[in-house]
């Protein structure tokens, strides 16, 4: 059985709920980045999640603990990212924090998996989008909460396929 870790940063609880749903699908407990250690970043599949705050910034706990990711040896490791944002109220920075996590993981040698289509979303700009694809799973619990569970379910199946 693959060693899967889900690490999240959440302020309002929405990212924590998404992380818990993702973790449950893998039979593991989600880890709040505020309580994470360097060892938590060692996994066969590392799933990282953050909400976006301010003008496209990481969630506060991630901002404090980003050094754990910046110093992790992710060479050849599978990493997937998910993010929560408000595509109506913050259309120009939608899920930017997810993009920051993805870029940081890739700089540490990670093999990024779990990209999803940006089609059907109402944002205008995001550092998490490249060539029409989000670098991971983009969720909008403010405006599309009814789509969250189905998006998570489809994404988790895609991730499980990578594990074999």
Give ∠ CA 113-52-132 in degrees, rounded to 5.
Answer: 45
Tens digits of per-residue pLDDT, 138-160? 999 999 999 999 999 999 999 99
Q: Which long-range contacts (CB under 8 A, 24 or more apart) does 115-121 make?
A: 116/151, 116/155, 121/87, 121/94
Total count of domains within the chain: 1
Whole domain around residue 70: which residue ranges? 4-163
* Rg of the chain on CA atoms, in Å: 14
Tens digits of per-residue pLDDT, 67-120? 999 999 999 999 999 999 999 899 999 999 999 999 999 999 999 999 999 999
Tens digits of per-residue pLDDT, 5-64? 999 999 999 999 999 999 999 999 999 999 999 999 999 999 999 999 988 999 999 999
Task: Report pTM.
Answer: 0.96
CATH assignment at residue 133: 3.40.50.360
Return the structure tokens found at 153: 């379910």
């Amino acid at each position: 059985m693959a060693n899967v870790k889900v690490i999240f940063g959440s302020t309002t609880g929405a990212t924590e709920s998404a992380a818990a749903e993702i973790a449950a699908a893998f039979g593991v407990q989600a880890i709040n980045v505020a309580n994470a250690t360097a060892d938590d970043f060692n996994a066969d599949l590392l799933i990282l999640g953050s909400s976006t705050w301010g003008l496209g910034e990481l969630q506060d706990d991630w901002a404090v603990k980003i050094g754990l990711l910046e110093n992790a040896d992710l060479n050849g490791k599978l990493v997937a990212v998910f993010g929560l944002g408000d595509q109506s109220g913050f259309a120009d920075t939608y899920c930017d924090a997810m993009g920051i996590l993805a870029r940081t993981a890739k700089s540490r040698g990670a093999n990024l998996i779990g990209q999803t289509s940006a089609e059907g979303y109402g944002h205008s700009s995001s550092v998490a989008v490249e060539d029409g694809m989000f670098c991971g799973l983009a969720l909008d619990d403010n405006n599309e909460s009814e789509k969250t569970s189905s998006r998570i379910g489809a994404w988790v199946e895609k991730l499980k396929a990578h594990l074999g």
